[in-house]
Amino acid sequence: MKTLIAYTTKYGSTEKCAKALSGKLKGKVDVYNLKTEKNIDMTQYDKVIIGGSIYMGRIQKEATKFCSENLDVLQDKKVGLFICGMQTGQQLETQLNSVFPQELLSKSIATEAFGGEFIFKKMNTIDRFISKKISKQTEDVSAILEENITKLAMAMNDL
């Protein structure tokens, strides 16, 4: 079985999570950044995992576009979904359930929130200002949830 991980990232945290996930999956795994890879041959994959970072309550547009353009093809695949962000608790669950199409959510094998990071030196001025203001953080912080990456991998490996 061959697996595709298709993700979007703004400052690299989602990419870090996608690569960590790929190392926990069985079989051949291809990892593609949807900002740079535009033409992915979906016919060669049995499993597809889609992820992206959350900004202002939304997943990046490349992930949304990938889902909508491939919705029919994805109906015949084993699908996993993940988000990266610094929200916690019910807010995180609400976002996970609102950023992907219902058709994918209802058929997905697993959905997880992988946490996120604030690495301020990587951010543009506006994002840094807003993130510091909202989070009340002044230092870099990493809150990647390795256990959730493992849970998604285990669910996808059990197929």
Q: CATH homologous superfamily of domain 2-117+144-158?
A: Flavodoxin domain (3.40.50.360)
Residue type, 9: T
Full pLDDT tens readout for the chain, 159 residues: 799 999 999 888 999 999 999 999 999 999 999 999 988 999 999 999 999 998 778 899 999 999 999 999 999 999 999 999 887 777 777 888 889 999 999 999 999 999 888 888 888 888 888 787 777 888 887 889 999 999 999 999 986
Query: Whole-angstrom Cα distance, residue 14 to residue 9?
Result: 5
| Number of alpha helices (DSSP H) and beta strands (DSSP E) in the chain | 7, 8
Give pTM, 2 decimals.
0.89
Query: Whole-angstrom Cα distance, residue 43 to residue 65?
Result: 18
